[in-house]
């Protein structure tokens, strides 16, 4: 995508993302220690009688430690940075958990909560106050000091460590399978160019990894059922170092929920959500199942018939069963047959860079935004270090400043980062990851938001740009 010179200068500098692995722990400490001092001063200066929304609830919100580098554990190419971020995040979470068990702080918040009806608060303030009060309850503030609180603290600490280990193991996963080219029949030549070429004992073979581009292209296009089976099972069983962690986390969460008076972890979590109870979710899902099962059965029969006809035509054996690794392949084939679509040809019209530009144009028309791609000189100007490479975490990154259209004031809205291609150590699916929240402080100063769109589209080759593929392909 061609970068153009930004015609406006954003009022907020960019964050620094590189060469920070040795300063991350210090940054976490800079968040934790002032917050502890703030809480100590709060309980010295405010009493339940003088507690107000502004000097308690609003003050707690403004002073909450916010670790803006947290998302780097999913995207940084530097393993040291990912590990340092995970450790810092665990330290901040442990501090937050301990802070929310302070009875002296909760007494002030509860005093405001109890008199909320007389405070003439707007809906946003009431929502914040109720959420804060519930968070303290779910943190275990109602538990008596002593054994139960100690148990809860141990559960939270172990759970946090296990989650950190799980994420780290997942991002470090580098498994794959070697296939002969004949075993990959049906996979396009362009896709095969992204596979690792074998040497020595793997001479003549190609290695597919368990990143989404390789998994989807094999499951959706490879004619060999055995290859699809190996890829599906291999992908489902990757990262064996995580095999026991989910079981332990589930047990700990169940124990925590019961300590807090809930029957299950689901009941605890749903108490904060619109659904409120597991039963409401069960009823909702049952209704959906009843409504969609007939159509699903019809679709399944079509897929089974298509598989039978395909195997018969190729003279391949058929055991009459339809497997999980058959679904994506025959779903693509069914849609090609029903709608006369060639997904390979279809993708030629959706080069990634052009599609991103057109997509942003649609958002400009619908939402009244203006997206300005920041080039190297823009990044240097907005970098606290003066270096463009310090305000991105990888060379693939694209950074945009986002503005209101001129007709609505033309004000700055925030930053959008895009990280669109797979690499070792990176989150393997697609997600929007918040970096910095937007808010207006009590003194009127504005903090502008920043967010990242993280995807794993096949990278371009020297001969061809990255092409988007329909989900069925």
Instruction: Tell whether 112 is covered by a domain.
Output: yes
311 and 263 belong to one structural domain:
no
Please tell me the distance from the alpha carbon of residue 15 to that of residue 422, in angstroms, as a whole number. 23
Answer yes or no: are the C-beta atoms of 206 and 191 closer than 8 Å.
no
Instruction: Tell whether 410 is covered by a domain.
Output: no
Give the model's pLDDT for residue 408. Answer: 85
Burial of 129 (0-12, 13-18, 19+ CB in 10 A): buried
**Tell me, what CATH number does 40's domain have?**
1.20.1050.40
Please tell me the distance from the alpha carbon of residue 361 to that of residue 352, in angstroms, as a whole number. 14
Give the model's pLDDT for residue 3. Answer: 43
Can you tell me whether residue 436 is helix, strand or coil? strand
Instruction: Tell whether 9 is covered by a domain.
Output: no
The DSSP secondary-structure symbol of 458 reads P
Nearest CA to 423 among 457, 468, 451? 457
Instruction: Tell whether 382 is covered by a domain.
Output: no
Kindly write down the DSSP assignment for every residue of 235-255, as one continuous string. Answer: HHT--GGGTTHHHHHHHHHHH
What are the CA-CA distances from residue 449 to residues 15, 133, 400, 434 (Å)? 11, 26, 12, 8
Chosen domain end from 312, 339, 366: 339
What are the CA-CA distances from residue 329 to residues 213, 238, 307, 324, 412 (Å)? 15, 21, 9, 10, 46
Please tell me the distance from the alpha carbon of residue 351 to that of residue 221, in angstroms, as a whole number. 20
Please tell me the distance from the alpha carbon of residue 87 to that of residue 374, in angstroms, as a whole number. 32
112 and 28 belong to one structural domain:
yes
Nearest CA to 460 among 376, 347, 377? 347
Give the model's pLDDT for residue 458. Answer: 86
Phi, psi angles (nearest 5°) of residue 46: -120, 140
Please tell me the distance from the alpha carbon of residue 470 to that of residue 448, in angstroms, as a whole number. 34
Give the model's pLDDT for residue 1. Answer: 44
Q: What pTM was estimated for this model as a whole?
A: 0.86
For tokens 């689901």, the residue is 266
164 and 305 belong to one structural domain:
no
- Contacts (Cβ under 8 Å, ≥6 apart) of 59: 38, 42
Continuous segment of H or E residues that includes residue 135:
helix 123-139
How many domains is the chain built from? 3
146 and 183 belong to one structural domain:
no
Give the model's pLDDT for residue 5. Answer: 47
265 and 130 belong to one structural domain:
yes
Instruction: Tell whether 62 is covered by a domain.
Output: yes
**Rounded to 5°, angle at Cα 176 from 175 and 177:** 145
Chosen domain end from 339, 365, 381: 339
Continuous segment of H or E residues that includes residue 148:
helix 147-172
Nearest CA to 303 among 330, 325, 324? 330
The DSSP secondary-structure symbol of 202 reads G
304 and 180 belong to one structural domain:
no
40 and 182 belong to one structural domain:
no
Write out the chain's pLDDT in tens, 473 residues. Answer: 444 445 689 999 999 998 888 899 999 999 999 999 999 999 999 999 999 999 999 999 999 999 999 999 999 999 999 999 999 999 999 999 999 999 999 999 999 999 999 999 999 999 999 999 999 999 999 999 999 999 999 999 999 999 999 999 998 899 999 999 999 999 999 889 999 999 999 999 999 999 988 999 999 999 999 999 999 999 999 999 999 999 999 999 999 999 999 999 999 999 989 999 999 999 999 999 999 999 999 999 999 999 999 999 999 889 999 999 999 999 999 988 888 888 888 888 999 999 999 999 999 999 999 999 999 999 999 999 999 999 999 999 999 999 999 888 899 999 999 999 999 899 988 999 999 999 988 888 999 999 999 999 988 888 888 988 766 54
Phi, psi angles (nearest 5°) of residue 416: -120, 125
Domain that holds residue 289: 280-339
- Contacts (Cβ under 8 Å, ≥6 apart) of 244: none
Structure tokens at 175: 């498994």
30 and 68 belong to one structural domain:
yes
Answer yes or no: are the C-beta atoms of 329 and 221 closer than 8 Å.
yes
Tally of CB atoms within 10 A around 395: 7
The DSSP secondary-structure symbol of 19 reads S
Give the model's pLDDT for residue 249. Answer: 98
Q: In 286-304, which positions are buried (b, 16+ CB within 10 angstroms) versus exposed (e)?
A: eeeeeeeeeeeeeeeeebb
Give the model's pLDDT for residue 96. Answer: 94
268 and 298 belong to one structural domain:
no
Can you tell me whether residue 418 is helix, strand or coil? strand
Instruction: Tell whether 245 is covered by a domain.
Output: no
Instruction: Tell whether 377 is covered by a domain.
Output: no
207 and 69 belong to one structural domain:
no
Instruction: Tell whether 352 is covered by a domain.
Output: no
Please tell me the distance from the alpha carbon of residue 467 to that of residue 459, in angstroms, as a whole number. 8
51 and 139 belong to one structural domain:
yes
291 and 263 belong to one structural domain:
no
What are the CA-CA distances from residue 422 to residues 75, 84, 174, 191, 430 (Å)? 10, 22, 12, 14, 10
């Amino acid at each position: 995508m061609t970068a153009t010179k930004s015609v406006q200068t954003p009022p907020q500098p960019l964050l620094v993302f590189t060469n920070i692995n040795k300063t991350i722990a210090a940054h976490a400490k800079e968040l934790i220690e002032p917050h502890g001092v703030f809480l100590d001063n709060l309980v010295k200066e405010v009493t339940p009688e003088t507690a107000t929304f502004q000097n308690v609830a609003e003050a707690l919100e403004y002073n909450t430690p916010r670790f803006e580098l947290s998302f780097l554990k999913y995207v940084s190419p530097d393993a040291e940075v990912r590990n340092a971020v995970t450790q810092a995040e665990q330290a901040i979470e442990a501090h937050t958990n301990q802070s929310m068990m302070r009875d002296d702080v909760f007494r002030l918040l509860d005093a405001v909560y109890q008199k909320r009806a007389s405070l003439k608060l707007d809906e946003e303030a009431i929502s914040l106050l109720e959420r804060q009060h519930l968070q303290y309850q779910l943190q275990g503030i109602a538990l008596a000091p002593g054994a139960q609180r100690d148990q809860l603290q141990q559960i939270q600490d172990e759970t946090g460590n296990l989650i950190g280990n799980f994420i780290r193991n997942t991002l470090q996963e580098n498994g794959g399978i070697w296939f002969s080219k004949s075993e990959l029949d049906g996979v396009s030549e362009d896709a095969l160019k992204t596979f690792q070429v074998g040497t020595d004992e793997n001479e003549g073979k190609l290695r597919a990894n368990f990143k989404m581009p390789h998994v989807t292209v094999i499951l959706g296009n490879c004619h060999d059922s055995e290859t699809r089976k190996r890829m599906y099972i291999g992908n489902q069983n990757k990262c064996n170092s995580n095999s026991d962690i989910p079981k332990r986390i589930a047990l700990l969460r169940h124990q925590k929920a019961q300590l807090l008076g809930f029957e299950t972890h689901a009941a605890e979590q749903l108490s904060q959500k619109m659904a409120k109870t597991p039963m409401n979710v069960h009823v909702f899902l049952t209704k959906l199942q009843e409504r969609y099962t007939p159509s699903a059965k019809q679709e399944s029969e079509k897929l089974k018939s298509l598989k039978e006809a395909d195997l018969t035509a190729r003279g391949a054996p058929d055991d009459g069963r339809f497997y999980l690794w058959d679904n994506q392949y025959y779903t693509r084939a069914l849609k090609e047959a029903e709608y006369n679509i060639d997904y390979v040809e279809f993708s030629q019209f959706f080069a990634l860079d052009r599609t991103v530009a057109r997509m942003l144009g649609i958002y400009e028309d619908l939402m009244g935004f203006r997206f300005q791609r920041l080039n190297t000189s823009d990044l240097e100007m907005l970098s606290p270090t003066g270096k463009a490479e310090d305000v991105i975490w990888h060379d693939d990154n694209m950074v945009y400043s986002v503005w209101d259209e001129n007709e609505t004031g033309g004000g700055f809205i925030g930053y959008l980062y895009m990280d669109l291609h797979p690499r070792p150590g990176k989150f393997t699916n697609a997600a929007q990851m918040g970096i910095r929240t937007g808010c207006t402080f009590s003194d009127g100063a504005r903090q502008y938001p920043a967010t990242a769109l993280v995807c794993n589209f096949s990278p371009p080759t020297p001969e061809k740009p990255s092409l988007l593929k329909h989900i069925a392909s």
